[in-house]
Amino acid sequence: MEPNALIPPPRGESVPGLGVVAWDNPGDRVTYATGVLALHTPHGSKLTAVLLWPLLTSRTVCTHCGGPWPCNRATWAHEALHTQDGTR
């Protein structure tokens, strides 16, 4: 039995639009998530998005990808900015 037969699972997470990403620097994840939120916004102001996030429903669409708000990428980015631990 070789100890190195135990291979740890790959470090990374599934990011909408990017696939599985292993962030070398947690700051890169925050930077990317911030950029995603800057692009993917509900039909309305970003201020509204920040203040009313929990109240937004699928009646609103994303201005960037046109999907029901919050879209997959915005949902991921929002969660990423509230966890900031990289892989969870």
16 binds Zn ion (CB under 5 A): no
Q: Is 30 in the site for Zn ion (CB under 5 A)?
A: no
**Spatial contact of 16 and 73, defined as CB atoms under 8 Å apart:** yes
Instruction: Identify the CA nearest to 15 among candidates 35, 40, 32, 39.
Output: 32
Instruction: Please give the DSSP secondary-structure letter assigned to residue 1.
Output: -
User: Total number of residues binding Zn ion (CB under 5 A)?
Assistant: 5
DSSP label at residue 61 = B
**Shortest Å, Cβ 84 to Zn ion:** 21
Q: How far is the CB of 86 from Zn ion (least distance, A)?
A: 23
Of 26 and 68, the one with the shorter C-beta distance to Zn ion is 68
